[in-house]
Chain A
Amino acid sequence: MNRPIRVMSIVCLVLFTALLIGVNYIQFVDADTLNAKNGNRRVIDEEFARERGPILVGDRPIAESVPVDDQWKFQRRYPEAKLYADITGYFSYTYGRSGLEQSQNDILSGSDNRLFVNRVVDLIGSNQPRGGSVSVTINRRAQRAAAEGIDNLPGDAKGAVVALDPSTGAILAMTGSPTYNPNLLASHNLDEVAKAWKRLNADKDKPMLNRSTQQILPPGSTFKIITAAAAMEKLNLGPDSQVKGGRGLTAPGFGSYVLRNQGGGNCGGNRITLTQALEVSCNVTFGDLAMKVGQEDMARQADAFGFGARDLDQLPMNPSQFTSDPDVELEAPQLAQSGIGQYEVAATPLQMAMATGAIANGGALMKPYLVSTVRSPDLKTIETAKPEKIRDAISGSTAAGLSQMLVDVVENGTGGSAAIPGVEVGGKTGTAQSTADRPPYAWFVSFAPADDPKVAVAVVVESSSTGRDDISGGRLAGPIARSVMQAVLDR
């Protein structure tokens, strides 16, 4: 009987080997995957109880962990909660993380590989591991100016403001309204958190949406800067080139449709210069130019400015679009409407700020970023942001011509509300129709100073008091853009 007993001992060996492989797989090979699973309370508890690193603007925290006397020992606090909610995001026991709390979690929680040495030191000293700090590129004054600008709008206005440094891509201001208070979600009173979460999600104004990066809206006339860029690149036009003006645009394929200017004007003549067309925001001109450039090259130019991509990787971002489906050919009136930022054209405020910035920056589109410096818990710098060029969206000469024309728009045209005495400001207004029963969106994009751009801004306002003409873009959104630029330029 010994032979089968030996066989059985081999069988038992196989069984135990399988178990050993099983525990090795779970506890070593697959452990990180399991730890990253949603709803894994062990990991959430541990992260929640850790001294999480702060998110800083300058030397002041906009998110920090303070000691409290409960089972988690630390409470996440957002001192200027609503002002920075779009940037910090929330850190909730029940609902996880968002914003920089999510994208910078490895550093903030201290689990980043670059903090390995700190962790070992903490382990030896039997200290709780601490998180590193994240400094953001936000300019406090610009952020305040942006938020106050939107708050001071009449009535139920919703809106968003993004400002960035055109030469680096550093984001200087980013705020939206209505927004929310992340302290409500970071609370340790989980019942209150659940109530707040339910209320915020039920709100039809979507306060937890980052309006600067996640909401795409028709950019209206501000999109004409991209149509102009495409025409200058493709059709070799300059600021003084003669383009089509007049009261209305008809073309083969339009049928009975006529693309008219806002207010029904004639843009100053049947043949006008490109500069003048931009100054008066002439729909006829840009509808015509879009058809001349063609759908494919229009889309290509928009993509060169960043449409269709998520270039900001530190916050959730939705790509902007020229058409909803690039493979569908537009009909003639649709293409003409797309040229003036209507039909299916939709962009985030961040996207419009990036495009404006690229024009101001000699045509070079810079990668937007929010995190300037990452430091270890003992304040050693781990990483400093390096500006990164995505591509040259347009040639230097096109950029120079376009930039000059946008200065004219502020000095002589629809963009007067953004003028700053003693500073050359370039800008463009826009008012985009949405549906008949909703108020239109008032846009303003601008940059300053024109000769050495330090700031590019995009502002969008949705308000029931917005008129359905182009001036309102300048009236509502222009002053906000101006005060943000002033804050950055310290004027």
Chain B
Amino acid sequence: MSSPATTPAVVHRKRRGAEALLIALALAIVIFAFCAVGLGARGEVPGFVAGLAVLLVVIAVATHLVVRFVAPYADPVLVPLVVALNGLGIAMIYRLDLARLDSLGEEAKQFAGRQVMWTALGLLLFVAVLLVVRDHRKLQAYTYTFGLAALVLLILPLLPVVGRQINGARIWINIGGMSLQPGEFAKICLAIFFAGYLVVKRDALALAGRRFMGIDFPRGRDLGPILAAWLVSLGVLIFQRDLGSSLLFFGLFVVMLYVATERPGWLVVGTSLFLGGALFAATTFSHVQSRVDAWLSPFPVTDGTFQLTQGLYGMAWGGLLGRGLGEGNPYLTPFAYSDFIFASFAEELGLAGSMAILLMYGLIVERGLRIALLCRDAFGKLLATGLAVSFALQVFVVVGGITRIIPLTGLTTPFMSYGGSSILANWAIIALLLRISDQSRRPPPEAAPMQMDDATQVVKL
């Protein structure tokens, strides 16, 4: 598994040209998607496409230039993937806006314009993170600051003045008329906090306790942190009624704990705690119970299973090749533009399209884990792993819920769902990954000898 320490240093290429090419491809896909939406829903290419294309190219060139100068060695695949997903998401939101115009008339709420604005802000945040965080290792100095920030962000929605409960979940805050989900940002803060905390404590946490069935279990006295994370997750579930975030936070901690300590025992402990909590929640809380019931028996259709079954109908209706953008009926599913946007794509782009989207998400995760493998410092490794795995977990939880692999929980589909917090937070995550990637792929200074924390190797799956 580990390569000998004498491996000659790999000099990574910058690959900024490849990135530019891929971004151009992604933009072409997005512009074609807008044209297809217009042709499908209205029989004509939308008038704003030319303007939109110019705008997109300007933004893309700007983004590319920023990366080229600020993080020249960063991974070249992430930005194109995210551009494609984000752009497709806006195209679908625009498509659903048109459907809403048809059914409700002029007063219909329109989301695409706001999503474009959020995307622009997301890009600004992306650039800002790249500019401010010139070296990700600096973040380690603020470990507990981020921990505190995460806690504050989680508690904010529960506070009386700013907190808002929307659709049963108390995960929103209202600032100046805008609704935000602080949980999305808490996710990043937690990943940084966990990484910083575990880098310091991992030696203690890796001490073996009892050995059982070939797995070293941790010592009882080291269970404190995982129990704390478990309780916080349960708190999110109980007080915020947010099943998805609860699962995501706990999963993130367990995975990072395992990666930090290299002890599979933590996975066993974490999984048992998770199963216990899930069983407890499923039998105690009605809002969890109803989700589980809907998951087990969606038919016959009731109010509780309506959204899930409409999503299933939509995906089945899409079939292998889909109805075509603008030509299906994704608007029949509630929240087709946010929670169920994946089902909307599956309906209009078919199995081919839904698998392509899943593969794009898979590639993002793969690039993230690859960055973790290449990274030379433990903090960066842990942070990159955490960010990549949280991304994977989030996609799994939301798409798995829509496809009835697991009970439905409310999480956003990264980059595609309508929603400002999600867009902002995910662009920030990509910026952090690029920063770590740039750091690890940059050739070491000539004078200093190689100080690799661990052997680097390309991941083979």
Neighbouring A residues of B453 by C-beta, 8 Å: 1
B346 lies within 8 A of A19 (CB): no
A42 lies within 8 A of B405 (CB): no
Supposing A16-B396, A27-B346, A37-B313 touch, asked if A1 and B378 sit within 8 A by C-beta, the answer is yes
B319 lies within 8 A of A28 (CB): yes
Neighbouring A residues of B395 by C-beta, 8 Å: 16, 19
Q: Is B454 an interface residue (CB 8 A)?
A: yes
A27 lies within 8 A of B358 (CB): no
Question: Which of B318, B346, B405 has the most chain A CB atoms closer than 10 A to its own CB?
Answer: B405
Using CB atoms, name the residue of chain A closest to B357.
A23
B316 lies within 8 A of A34 (CB): yes
Neighbouring A residues of B284 by C-beta, 8 Å: none
Q: Is A309 an interface residue (CB 8 A)?
A: no
Contact with A along B318-345 (1 / 0, CB 8 A): 1110000000110010000000000000
- Which residues of chain A (20-48) have a CB below 8 Å from chain B? 20, 22-28, 30-35, 37, 39-43, 45
- Which residues of chain B (378-425) have a CB below 8 Å from chain A? 378, 381-382, 385, 388-389, 392-393, 395-396, 399-400, 403-405
Q: How many residues of A contact B (CB 8 A)?
A: 37
A37 lies within 8 A of B361 (CB): no
Q: Is A199 an interface residue (CB 8 A)?
A: no
- Which residues of chain A (440-454) have a CB below 8 Å from chain B? none
A31 lies within 8 A of B316 (CB): yes
* Interface residue from A16, A25, A43 paired with B317 (Cβ < 8 Å): A43
A residues in contact (CB < 8 Å) with B: 1-10, 12-13, 15-16, 18-20, 22-28, 30-35, 37, 39-43, 45
Question: Which of B318, B396, B403 has the most chain A CB atoms closer than 10 A to its own CB?
Answer: B403
* Interface residue from B319, B372, B393, B404 paired with A31 (Cβ < 8 Å): B319
What CA separation (Å) do A1 and B366 show in the bound complex? 17
Neighbouring A residues of B369 by C-beta, 8 Å: 5, 8-9, 12
Q: Is B1 an interface residue (CB 8 A)?
A: yes
Supposing A1-B259, A19-B403 touch, asked if A27 and B392 sit within 8 A by C-beta, the answer is no
Q: Is B207 an interface residue (CB 8 A)?
A: no
Neighbouring A residues of B246 by C-beta, 8 Å: none
B461 lies within 8 A of A9 (CB): yes
Supposing A16-B361, A18-B405 touch, asked if A8 and B355 sit within 8 A by C-beta, the answer is no
Task: Supply 15 A–B pairs (Cβ within 8 Å), ascending by A.
Answer: A2-B373, A2-B381, A5-B369, A8-B369, A15-B392, A16-B365, A18-B400, A19-B396, A19-B403, A23-B346, A24-B351, A27-B315, A27-B354, A37-B313, A43-B317
Supposing A16-B396, A19-B399, A31-B319 touch, asked if A1 and B454 sit within 8 A by C-beta, the answer is yes
Supposing A5-B373, A5-B385, A42-B317 touch, asked if A26 and B1 sit within 8 A by C-beta, the answer is no
A12 lies within 8 A of B262 (CB): no
B366 lies within 8 A of A9 (CB): yes
B312 lies within 8 A of A26 (CB): yes
A42 lies within 8 A of B381 (CB): no
What CA separation (Å) do A225 and B260 show in the bound complex? 91
Q: Is B2 an interface residue (CB 8 A)?
A: yes
Other A-B contacts than A19-B395, A19-B396, A43-B313, 9 sampled, CB-CB below 8 A, are A6-B459, A7-B264, A8-B369, A16-B365, A16-B395, A34-B316, A35-B317, A37-B313, A42-B317
Q: Which 9 A-B pairs have the closest CB atoms?
A: A34-B316, A22-B403, A27-B351, A31-B316, A4-B259, A12-B392, A15-B396, A42-B317, A16-B362
Q: How far is the CB of B41 from chain A (nearest CB, A)?
A: 13
Q: Is B269 an interface residue (CB 8 A)?
A: no
Neighbouring B residues of A10 by C-beta, 8 Å: 461
Q: How far is the CB of A400 from chain B (nearest CB, A)?
A: 55
Query: How many interface contacts (CB-CB < 8 Å) are there between A and B?
Result: 140
A8 lies within 8 A of B389 (CB): yes
* Interface residue from A6, A26, A37, A45 paired with B315 (Cβ < 8 Å): A26
Q: How far is the CB of B140 from chain A (nearest CB, A)?
A: 15
What CA separation (Å) do A81 and B370 show in the bound complex? 70
A23 lies within 8 A of B329 (CB): no
- Which residues of chain B (280-319) have a CB below 8 Å from chain A? 299, 301, 309, 312-319
Q: How far is the CB of B366 from chain A (nearest CB, A)?
A: 7
Q: How far is the CB of A264 from chain B (nearest CB, A)?
A: 58
Q: How far is the CB of B180 from chain A (nearest CB, A)?
A: 28
What CA separation (Å) do A31 and B403 show in the bound complex? 12
* Interface residue from A1, A3, A6, A20 paired with B355 (Cβ < 8 Å): A20
A27 lies within 8 A of B350 (CB): yes
What CA separation (Å) do A18 and B395 show in the bound complex? 12
* Interface residue from A20, A25, A27 paired with B320 (Cβ < 8 Å): A27
A9 lies within 8 A of B315 (CB): no
Neighbouring A residues of B174 by C-beta, 8 Å: none
Using CB atoms, name the residue of chain B closest to A13.
B461
B262 lies within 8 A of A4 (CB): yes
Using CB atoms, name the residue of chain A closest to B316.
A34
* Interface residue from A6, A31, A45 paired with B329 (Cβ < 8 Å): A45
B260 lies within 8 A of A1 (CB): yes
What CA separation (Å) do A35 and B316 show in the bound complex? 7
What CA separation (Å) do A13 and B395 show in the bound complex? 12
Q: Is B255 an interface residue (CB 8 A)?
A: yes
Neighbouring B residues of A24 by C-beta, 8 Å: 351, 355
B396 lies within 8 A of A1 (CB): no
A40 lies within 8 A of B329 (CB): no
Neighbouring B residues of A42 by C-beta, 8 Å: 313-314, 317, 328-329, 332
Neighbouring A residues of B66 by C-beta, 8 Å: none
Neighbouring A residues of B316 by C-beta, 8 Å: 26-27, 30-35
Q: How far is the CB of A22 from chain B (nearest CB, A)?
A: 4
Q: Is B278 an interface residue (CB 8 A)?
A: no
Neighbouring B residues of A1 by C-beta, 8 Å: 259-260, 262, 378, 381-382, 453-454
What CA separation (Å) do A28 and B2 show in the bound complex? 42
Q: Is B457 an interface residue (CB 8 A)?
A: yes
Q: Is B258 an interface residue (CB 8 A)?
A: yes
Q: How far is the CB of B310 from chain A (nearest CB, A)?
A: 8
B299 lies within 8 A of A37 (CB): yes
Using CB atoms, name the residue of chain A closest to B311.
A26
B461 lies within 8 A of A4 (CB): no
Q: Is B455 an interface residue (CB 8 A)?
A: yes
Supposing A24-B351, A27-B320 touch, asked if A39 and B314 sit within 8 A by C-beta, the answer is no
Supposing A3-B1, A27-B346, A35-B316 touch, asked if A19 and B381 sit within 8 A by C-beta, the answer is no
B400 lies within 8 A of A22 (CB): yes
Q: How far is the CB of B154 from chain A (nearest CB, A)?
A: 24
B373 lies within 8 A of A23 (CB): no
Neighbouring B residues of A39 by C-beta, 8 Å: 301
Neighbouring B residues of A9 by C-beta, 8 Å: 366, 369, 459, 461
